[in-house]
Structures are given as C-alpha cells and as structure tokens.
A and B are shown apart, each in its own frame.
Chain A
Amino acid sequence: MFLNKIFLKSFRNYAAQEIAFREGINIFYGENAQGKTNLLEAIYLLSLGRPYRVQRDQDLVKWEEAGFLVKGIAEKDKRTLIIEVSFTLGGKKAIKINGLEQKKLRALLGLLNVVIFSPTDLQLIQGSPGERRRFLDLEISQVNPQYGHYLHQYGRVLQQRNNLLRELRERKKNLDLLVVWDTQLIDWGSKIIKKRLDSMKKLSILAKLMHRKITSHKETLELKYLSSCRNLEEKIAQGEEIEHIFKQNLEKIKEEEIHRGMTMIGPHRDDFSSFINGINVKTFGSQGQQRTAVLSLKLAELEFMKAETGEYPLLLLDDVMSELDQERREHLLKVVRQRIQTFITTTDLEDFPQEFLTEASLYQISKGQISGVKGCIL
C-alpha cells in the first residue's frame, strides 16, 4: 500500500493544493499553525472517513468556504485506488471510491489503513476506558471491516434496549419485551468481545516483545482485557461460551438495570489495562513508563495490522519526536525505516539524525502553501 498523491480543496487552511508523496519517509516541517497537521488530518480522513483532531466535519472546511474536497490516489495490490471525501455545509458527507458513490462510511474501512501517533496518545494509559475502547475498535475495524458492522449493530440494539429499560422503570412497557433485545445484545456483543479478546492476545504479545526491546529487557509489559462480565476469561478457559456467560451476567443484573434505566454490562463497558512488571501503569507507572508503554502499544499496533493484513499501514506521526527521549526516538525511527510509508510533522528538523533526513523527502509548510525542499515531486 502506497499513497501517491493527495488533493485538497478548501480544506482547513488549504485553498487548493496537490501534493505527491514518495514511498518511505515524508516530513512536513515549518512553524506552528501553518498547516502541517492538517495534512495528516486529510490522510486520516481518507482512511477512516472521519476527522481525527476536530470534532465535526464542518470544522474541516476552510474559513468562509462552503465545503471541502479531499482526494487521494493510492496504490494497493498493484491497482490504483482513488478515494474522495467531500462535504458541503448543511449537507452530507459524500464518499467515492474509484468514482463510485458509497452510501456507507464503513465502505472505506480496510482500504487505506493508518496508525496515528501523537502526544495525545498518552490518554491511552491515563484516559478514560472510552479512549481505550476507541483505540481497540478503530484498530480492529481497519483489519476486519466486518467488525465495524458488528459495532454499528450493537450500538443500535444498545440504544433501543436502553430506551426500553427506561420505559420499564416507569412501568410503561411489559417486561417480556426485554428478551427480544437481550438476544440481539448478546448476539452482537459476543461477536465483539470475541474479536477483541482475540486481537488483545495478539496485540499483547507484540507489545510485550516491543517493550522488552525498548527497555533493553528491563521491563515486561502486559495488556489485560477487562470485561464487564465477571470472570469472563476464566470461564472461557473452562470451556463456556461467551454468549452463555454474557447471558448469565445480564440476568443477574436485570433488576438494577431497570432501576438505572441503562445497560450496565457488555462490550460498551469494557476496558483494558497495561501492567509493567505486574504493576498497573495507569496508577503506579511513572510518566516515563507511561510514555514508553504508549510507544510499545503503538508499535505493536503497527505490527498487528501487518500480521492481520499482510502489509504495513500508513504511519502518521504528529509531532511526537519532541515528546520522546533519545533512546525511544531511535527505536521509533528504526521501526519507521523498515519500508513503512510514514508522514511526520515537526517544527524542528534537528530532532532527526542526519542520515535519517537524507533518506526522507522534506516538505516545508508555510501558511497553507507547500514548497518541496528535498526529494519531493511537486
């Protein structure tokens, strides 16, 4: 997979811009607030159909413009792939793949996979369970588009079930109706849990090896999936089906769910934890350990996608060099140099070793204008 070219129209601070990329390393550098990260935002949008940093699609539109267009030309499995994402204020987002209009955002999943690494990723350790679920879900749905469908269906059922629970609390509906939603919740939910457990196992072993490497064998990193179903993994080990365990747990908690008017167990309440040498990184890890754990996790994600799809995803590094110390930078760059197409934003080229810069293509970004400096095809 290789991203050849992107074209931006009225996107963030770009009026109209075409940029060609090279395989290998592409570095965007320049002062703050010139539009470096906006390029990563565009690539991310082509990959997942949603913005990475801003909340809403309309925030991607250039000031005083009516809409935006982002077009990417990539090479995948020796074929040309053209992805277009456009949006008009007051209208809907439109997606085209090779010129064909797509109804669903999910059609994009798995085409142009990305892994993004930015300073905010520390939230993967420090943040709420929701952040970690989003990380897992995004990663799994990229390598397994079917999973995106499961999530969608589960979300739909969850909402309906919650509505019903609230109505049951107010005694507006009959309790018998709950069974219908329970069956579906268990059905879709178990599929999600199963996929997550499976991915977690792979991710965990990759992260462990990566972390050993980065810390020169001093630390062992372990990831553990925390399910809202009690003793999930023990019971699976004893040969019980996830569906059955989920059902049992739901039955036990039915009264309370009605009382609270919401669904209290299921994949939407799950989480995962990281442990270094058996100690929970979130509560007891030092700042440095947390950063290293995030780096290991991100690099493991890269390897995980490679293992699942057979090719490395695009790697987007948003101003991460300044956050890492010398040793960790070296590890990151070493991985990057393994023929992964990488897009890096930085304010300071001095953060990179000279031999790294000679291999890379450099783009200087200034006020939404791009000038190629070295190795670029403009």
Chain B
Amino acid sequence: MQEEIIAIDTEMINLAQLLKLATIVETGGQAKFLIGEGKVSVNGEKENRVRRKLYPGDIVEIDEQIIIKLTRE
C-alpha cells in the first residue's frame, strides 16, 4: 500500500477533483470511469458518487493499493 497525504486549502473537495489533484487521473471522465468501476472507496466503504464531498480527515482508497489521507493546509 502506498500512502499519500494531500492538503487542501478549502473546506471540502469532491472525489473527482481529489483524484485529479492526486494525479491518479487526468480528466474528469477517467475519474468517473474509475469510480463507476467500484475501484474507489471512502473511509472503508465503496463509493460510486463522482462528486462525493470529502472533508479533511477523510481517507480515500484506490484499487486496494493507494491510500490518500486528506488534511487541511
């Protein structure tokens, strides 16, 4: 497992934006595909909403191999 910590300077960020920020995907379309395929989970639960709101403290897991922890800048 690879862990990454990503800091945001806003109150919240949506899932697709986070995937782009973490350079997991390049476009929103790719994010939508990845999430639609059930490869992304938030705080241990599978997430299928592309615009799921995320707040500092949330943990996102991608394809059982990359973990992103969200913090506030």
Contact = CB atoms under 8 A, between A and B. Distances in A.
Nearest to B19: A205
A303 B34 CA distance: 11
B33 A202 contact: yes
Contacts of A373: none
A212 B27 contact: no
A201 B27 contact: yes
B34 A205 contact: yes
Given A205-B25, A307-B37, A213 B30 contact: no
Contacts of B66: 212, 217
A201 B30 contact: yes
A86 interface: no
Q: A202, A205, A212: which has the most chain B beta carbons within 10 Å?
A: A205
Contacts of A204: 30
Interface of A, secondary structure class, is helix
Nearest to A210: B63
Given A201-B29, A201-B30, A205-B25, A213 B37 contact: no
A49 B9 CA distance: 56
Contact of B39 (A201, A209, A217): A209
B62 interface: yes
Nearest to A307: B37
B10 interface: no
A205 B24 CA distance: 8
Contact of A307 (B2, B33, B63): B33
B33 A205 contact: yes
B33 A213 contact: no
B20 to A, nearest CB: 12
Given A217-B2, A307-B37, A209 B65 contact: yes
A213 B25 contact: no
Interface in B13-40: 24-25, 27, 29-30, 33-34, 37, 39
Nearest to B36: A307
A217 B62 CA distance: 13
A217 B63 CA distance: 13
A180 to B, nearest CB: 35
B1 to A, nearest CB: 9
Interface string A203-220: 011000100110001000
A213 B24 CA distance: 13
B33 A209 contact: no
A209 B62 contact: yes
Given A205-B34, A307-B37, A213 B63 contact: yes
A374 B70 CA distance: 51
B44 to A, nearest CB: 19
Contacts of A212: 2, 65-66
Nearest to A209: B63
Given A209-B63, A209-B65, A201 B2 contact: no
Contacts of B34: 205
A202 B26 CA distance: 11
Interface in B23-73: 24-25, 27, 29-30, 33-34, 37, 39, 62-63, 65-66
Nearest to A303: B37
A311 to B, nearest CB: 14
Interface of B: 2, 24-25, 27, 29-30, 33-34, 37, 39, 62-63, 65-66
22 contacts: A201-B27, A201-B29, A201-B30, A201-B33, A202-B30, A202-B33, A204-B30, A205-B25, A205-B30, A205-B33, A209-B39, A209-B63, A212-B2, A212-B65, A212-B66, A213-B65, A217-B2, A217-B65, A217-B66, A303-B37, A307-B33, A307-B37
Given A202-B30, A205-B30, 15 more contacts: A201-B30, A201-B33, A202-B33, A204-B30, A205-B24, A205-B33, A205-B34, A209-B62, A209-B63, A209-B65, A212-B2, A212-B66, A213-B63, A213-B65, A307-B33
What are the 7 closest A-B residue pairs judged by CB atoms, nearest first? A217-B2, A205-B30, A209-B63, A202-B33, A307-B37, A213-B65, A201-B30
